[in-house]
């Protein structure tokens, strides 16, 4: 089995998986919709108390068992093996719509570089969203097929430093904007009333899991390529802090822009594609800013897409004995098929299901609901079903981490799943 070349190689890949559209596109959107500062506080709490212990569990189980998610679940208990495929289906479903949005960022990047003035409305009135989705899927497939070191590790080693560089430069630029103070106040001042709102708790918790990418077998898979001498606890904390840093910087970039140009902070998913381009238009160096912003989004999206694909690649190559190339080709085709309806839902076809655009429906079903279910499965399987001696020392030695992963995480997940199920009905 391939290995990361070094501790840094693993860190870059794990940060690459964590930092993605979830930080730069989804996070500010959700903060905006859930009233700002209070949400941010709950997000930090969920992150440290629940997402981080689950990350340590996943990475250490991966390294200990050296198994893909299907085999690892089968190891915990035979009957659970099939549920590993469910995890693969859910991650592929997340990937399918994630790549549609990644495609939009790629298209916007190219438009800014070429100097074309096209609005989101015009963009989705063409079939460019489908073409750019296909391009994003193919690029992801090619990187993944090139291998753990030559593909995944190497792309992360270029793109991750770039992502942080752009974020920092843009955040510094934001401090010069007239709306900086108002933007930051909105982002960071908690409104105590919203702390009583269950919806905000559920959203913050879900976002922390989505952002770190825990509970989906990704960190487990990345853990299988980890060498023995790396300290998992320290590495996990580093990844978590860098992920929080990326979301926080994104907040510092986006809210000052929103408040400087009188935009709506609760604009939803269209914030990055509709509102911000309007802001860039009115700025002297708007074209460079726009190009940098979309280069940032696309790079972050690509490294996360690669990780989402890797769960299934690892499962298929090791359980079915396929080569990485073949697996990559097959899985990319599956993703293209699964993602096409999402791509078409933001095109002249306006594909809707029950009054929702297909992409939004996928985000709700797979990205919000499905993710919680697989996280519950993983946290229960590796703390309750796996015999105690098999639980890695990194987790069992710390009472706090162990009880968080064994009791607190499943309990909170069960509560939130019930809450979401009631809402759905
Ligand atoms: N964490 C990434 C983001 O914030 C997306 C992502 C990568 C993800 N792997 C995941 C989301 C696994 C859910 C599950 O954009």
Q: What is the mean pLDDT of each run of 10 residues along the chain (425 residues)?
A: 94 97 89 86 93 96 96 95 97 97 97 93 96 98 96 97 96 94 91 84 90 95 96 96 96 92 81 87 88 96 98 97 96 98 96 92 91 95 88 88 94 93 83
Q: Cα–Cα distance between 152 and 302 in angstroms, integer?
A: 10
CA of 400 to the centre of ligand 1 (A): 25
23 Cβ inside 6 Å of ligand 1:
yes
311 Cβ inside 6 Å of ligand 1:
no
Residue whose Cα lies nearest atom 14 of ligand 1: it is: 213
Q: Cα–Cα distance between 30 and 205 in angstroms, integer?
A: 12
Residues 99-150: pLDDT tens digits? 999 999 999 999 999 999 899 999 999 999 999 999 999 999 999 999 999 9
65 Cβ inside 6 Å of ligand 1:
no
Report yes or no: 291 and 112 within 8 Å, Cβ to Cβ.
yes
Three-class HEC string of the chain: CCCCCCHHHHHHHHHHHHCCHHHHHHHHHHHHHCCCHHHHHHHHHHHHHHHHHHHHHHHHHHHHHCCCHHHHHHHHCHHHHHHHHHHHHHHHHHHHHHHHHHHHHHHHHHHHHHCCCCCHHHHHCCCHHHHHHHHHHHHHHHHHHCCHHHHHHHHHHHHHHHHHHHHHHHHHHHCCCCCHHHHHHHHHCCCHHHHHCHHHHHHHHHHHHHHHCCCCCHHHHHHHCCCCCCCHHHHHHHHHHHHHHHHHHHHHHHHHHHHHCCCCCCCHHHHHHHHHHHHHHCCCCHHHHHHHHHHHHHHHHHHHHHHHHHHHHHHHHHHHCCCHHHHHHHHHHHHHHHHHHHHHHCCCCCCEECCEEHHHHHHHHHHHHHHHHHHHHHHHHHHHHCCHHHCCHHHHCCHHHHHHHHHHHHHHHHHHHHHHHHHHC
Which atom of ligand 1 sits closest to the CA of residue 18?
Answer: 1
307 Cβ inside 6 Å of ligand 1:
yes
Task: Among 54, 304, 362, name the best residue to mutate to test ligand 1's pocket (greatest count of ligand atoms within 8 A of Cβ).
Answer: 304
Q: Which two tokens stand for residue 190?
A: 């908690």
CA of 100 to the centre of ligand 1 (A): 14
Q: Cα–Cα distance between 276 and 262 in angstroms, integer?
A: 11
CA of 88 to the centre of ligand 1 (A): 14
Task: Among 24, 210, 301, 313, name the best residue to mutate to test ligand 1's pocket (greatest count of ligand atoms within 8 A of Cβ).
Answer: 210
Which atom of ligand 1 sits closest to the CA of residue 305?
Answer: 7
Which pLDDT score is estimated for 282?
81
Task: Among 14, 19, 21, 22, name the best residue to mutate to test ligand 1's pocket (greatest count of ligand atoms within 8 A of Cβ).
Answer: 22
Residues 358-392: pLDDT tens digits? 999 999 899 889 999 999 999 999 999 988 888 89
371 Cβ inside 6 Å of ligand 1:
yes
């Amino acid at each position: 089995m391939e290995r990361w070349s070094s501790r840094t190689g693993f860190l870059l890949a794990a940060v690459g998986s964590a930092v993605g559209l979830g930080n730069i596109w989804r996070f500010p959107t959700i903060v905006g919709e859930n009233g700002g500062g209070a949400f941010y506080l709950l997000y930090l709490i969920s992150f440290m108390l629940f997402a981080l212990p689950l990350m340590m569990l996943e990475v250490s189980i991966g390294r200990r068992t050296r198994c893909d998610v299907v085999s690892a679940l089968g190891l915990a208990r035979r009957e659970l093996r099939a549920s590993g495929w469910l995890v693969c289906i859910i991650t592929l479903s997340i990937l399918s719509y994630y790549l549609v949005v990644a495609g939009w960022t790629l298209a916007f990047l190219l438009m800014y570089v070429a100097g074309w003035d096209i609005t989101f409305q015009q963009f989705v009135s063409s079939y460019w969203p489908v073409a750019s989705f296909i391009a994003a899927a193919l690029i992801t497939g090619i990187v993944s097929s090139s291998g753990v070191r030559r593909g995944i590790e190497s792309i992360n080693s270029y793109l991750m430093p770039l992502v942080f560089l752009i974020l920092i430069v843009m955040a510094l630029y934001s401090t010069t904007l007239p709306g900086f103070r108002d933007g930051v106040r909105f982002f960071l001042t908690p409104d105590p009333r919203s702390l009583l709102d269950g919806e905000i708790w559920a959203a913050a918790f879900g976002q922390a899991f989505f952002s770190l990418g825990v509970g989906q077998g990704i960190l487990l898979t990345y853990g299988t390529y980890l060498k023995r001498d790396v300290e998992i606890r320290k590495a996990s904390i580093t990844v978590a802090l860098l992920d929080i840093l990326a979301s926080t910087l994104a907040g510092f970039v986006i809210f000052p822009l929103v408040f400087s140009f009188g935009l709506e902070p609760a604009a939803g998913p269209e914030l990055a594609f509709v509102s911000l381009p309007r802001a860039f238009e009115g700025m002297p160096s708007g074209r460079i800013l726009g190009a940098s912003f979309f280069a940032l989004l696309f790079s972050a999206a690509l490294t996360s897409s690669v990780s989402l694909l890797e769960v299934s690649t690892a499962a298929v190559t090791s359980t079915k004995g396929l080569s990485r190339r073949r697996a990559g080709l097959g899985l990319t085709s599956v993703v293209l098929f699964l993602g096409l309806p999402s791509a078409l839902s933001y095109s002249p076809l306006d594909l809707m299901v029950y009054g929702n655009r297909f992409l939004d429906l996928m985000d709700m079903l797979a990205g919000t609901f499905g993710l919680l279910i697989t996280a519950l499965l993983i946290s229960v399987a590796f703390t309750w079903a796996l015999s105690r001696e098999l639980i890695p020392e990194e987790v069992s030695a710390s009472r706090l981490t162990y009880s968080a992963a064994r009791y607190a995480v499943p309990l909170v997940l069960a509560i939130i799943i019930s809450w979401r199920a009631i809402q759905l009905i």
